[in-house]
């Protein structure tokens, strides 16, 4: 998973580590010191000591001070102290971050998201000094990690909790997205995830448009032993889903998994049909299902679907074949809605919960 992105980032870090110029800035800062009022401090000129020995002495000194704290009166005094800060120079950062921008764009991260990540990484690096012994490469890696985590972190969406929270009637979950993105397969996977949680489900064959779509959902329903509500091809999708909700109400089923036909946001007729499905049935949760292999396009689609019908979260499928990871990085930022699961294969069990930390660890491992 995400092999290309990992490789690109690794070679970017190697190169950036070599190209980054660090500069040292000397500054005088005001610090407060405490000193004894009784015994004036005698500063003896000592020979420089081995680091360990000096640290040991320092600890003993601290202990002595601690012990005598209660007895001796102290006086506070402010003095100027010279300190040296080390950071990556802004000039070298600009060319390094240009390389980062290319690495992200090559891996299908959307342009606006790439720019935002690069800007955030730069700000983090300019704001923070390099720690003692920290290499430029290490600093760049942690700044980029933090920037990507921030991009992905658009809030939690716990779907199981949402379902359990609903007090009356079934929860309707509607799956929307482009043709072939994996909606129907994802419904099968969700049916299994929910059943494993003790939540009962019914499938609604709301794709009345594509040939064999109803039969395809029927195969999943049979394999998973889940009820299905369906009508003839060409019938009204909104009505099929309405019937499924009524069926769930009558049978005390917890969740309706509503399939819909694949469509492009640019197909106005089909988008109007989807708006009608939403208007009539008012889904509790709408999930955008995107094919991660389509990268940037998946993110753009998600944004348009969100504008048209409002989505609550995304599922990205085919992550098992995705070497770039661009859609994963872009989609949350562009919709401001979290990715909740990744599809990782064609079996019902091939679904993994998504969280930003997991993704970042995976890409930077
Ligand atoms: N490798 C892999 N294949 C997947 C995954 N999810 C779905 N697929 C495959 O992608 C193809 C399309 O999946 P569907 O579930 O039919 O997609 P859809 O969005 O319902 O398609 P339409 O109804 O035509 O819009 C099928 O061959 C699925 O088996 C996944 O996570 N990994
Ligand atoms: Mg389908």
pLDDT tens, N- to C-terminus, the chain (365 residues): 999 999 999 999 998 988 888 888 888 888 888 877 765 554 444 445 555 666 777 777 777 666 655 666 778 888 888 888 888 988 889 889 999 999 999 999 999 999 999 999 999 999 888 988 899 999 999 999 999 999 999 999 999 999 999 999 999 999 999 999 999 999 999 999 999 999 999 999 999 999 999 999 999 999 999 999 999 999 999 999 999 999 999 999 999 999 999 999 999 999 999 999 999 999 999 999 999 999 999 999 999 999 999 999 999 999 999 999 999 999 999 999 999 999 999 999 999 999 999 999 999 98
> What's the rounded Cα separation, in Å, for the pair 155 and 289?
18
Ranges for all domains in the chain classified under CATH 3.40.50.300 = 159-357
> What's the rounded Cα separation, in Å, for the pair 289 and 36?
69
Print burial letters for 321-358: b (CB count within 10 Å at least 16), e (below 16).
Answer: ebbbbbbbbbbbbbbebbbbbbbbbeebebbeebebee
265 close to 271: Cβ distance less than 8 angstroms: yes
For residue 178, the ligand closest to its alpha carbon is: 1
Residues with a beta carbon under 5 angstroms from ion ligand 2: 183-184
Q: Which two tokens stand for residue 170?
A: 């079934």
pLDDT at 132: 84
118 close to 143: Cβ distance less than 8 angstroms: no
pLDDT at 286: 98
333 close to 111: Cβ distance less than 8 angstroms: no
Distance 181 CA to ligand 1 centre (A): 6
Q: Which two tokens stand for residue 303?
A: 């944004």
Check the annotation: does 184 bind a ligand.
yes
Ranges for all domains in the chain classified under CATH 1.20.120 = 11-23+88-152
> What's the rounded Cα separation, in Å, for the pair 98 and 297?
23
> What's the rounded Cα separation, in Å, for the pair 144 and 147?
5
Out of 1.20.120, 1.10.1740, 1.10.3470, 3.40.50, select the CATH number for domain 11-23+88-152. Answer: 1.20.120
Q: Which two tokens stand for residue 14?
A: 């190697």
Q: Which two tokens stand for residue 160?
A: 């199981």
* CA-closest candidate to residue 174, choices 161, 159, 164: 159
Check the annotation: does 252 bind a ligand.
no
For residue 316, the ligand closest to its alpha carbon is: 1
**Pocket residue to mutate for ligand 1, from 317, 342, 347, 350, most atoms within 8 A of Cβ:** 317
Closest C-alpha to ligand 1, atom 22: 180
Cα separation of the two ends of the chain: 12
Residues with CB under 6 A from ligand 1: 177, 179-185, 207, 210, 213, 262, 317-318, 320-321, 343-346, 350
Out of 3.40.50.720, 3.90.76.10, 1.50.10.20, 3.40.50.300, select the CATH number for domain 159-357. Answer: 3.40.50.300
pLDDT at 43: 47
């Amino acid at each position: 998973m995400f092999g290309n992105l990992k490789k690109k980032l690794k070679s970017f870090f190697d190169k950036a580590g070599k190209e980054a110029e660090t500069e040292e800035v000397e500054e005088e800062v005001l610090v407060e010191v405490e000193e004894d009022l009784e015994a004036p401090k005698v500063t003896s000129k000592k020979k420089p000591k081995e680091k360990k020995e000096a640290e040991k002495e320092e600890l003993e000194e601290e202990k002595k001070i601690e012990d005598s704290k209660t007895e001796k009166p102290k006086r506070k005094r402010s003095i100027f102290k010279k300190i040296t800060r080390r950071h990556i120079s802004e000039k070298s950062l600009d060319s390094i971050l240009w390389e980062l921008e290319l690495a992200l764009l090559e891996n299908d991260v959307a342009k606006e998201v790439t720019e935002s990540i690069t800007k955030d990484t730069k700000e983090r690096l300019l704001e923070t000094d390099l720690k003692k012994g920290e290499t430029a490469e290490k600093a760049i890696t942690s700044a980029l990690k933090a920037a990507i985590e921030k991009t992905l972190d658009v809030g939690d969406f716990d779907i199981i909790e949402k379902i359990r929270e609903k007090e009356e009637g079934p929860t309707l979950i509607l799956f929307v997205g482009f043709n072939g993105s994996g909606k129907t397969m994802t419904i099968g996977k969700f049916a299994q995830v929910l059943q494993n949680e003790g939540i009962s489900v019914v499938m609604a064959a709301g794709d009345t448009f594509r040939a064999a779509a109803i039969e395809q959902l029927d195969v999943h329903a049979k394999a998973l032993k889940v009820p299905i509500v369906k009508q003839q091809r060409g019938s009204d999708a909104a009505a099929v889903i309405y019937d499924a909700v009524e069926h769930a109400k009558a049978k005390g089923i917890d969740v309706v998994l509503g399939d819909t036909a694949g469509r492009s946001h640019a197909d106005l007729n089909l988008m109007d049909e989807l708006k009608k499905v939403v208007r009539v049935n008012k889904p509790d949760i709408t999930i955008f299902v995107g094919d991660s292999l389509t990268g940037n396009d998946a993110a753009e689609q998600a944004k348009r679907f969100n504008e048209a019908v409002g989505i609550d979260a995304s599922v990205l499928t085919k992550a098992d074949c995705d070497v770039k990871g661009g859609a994963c990085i872009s989609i949350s930022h562009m919709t401001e809605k979290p990715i909740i699961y990744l599809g990782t294969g064609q079996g019902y069990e091939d679904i993994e919960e998504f969280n930003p930390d997991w993704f970042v660890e995976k890409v930077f491992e």
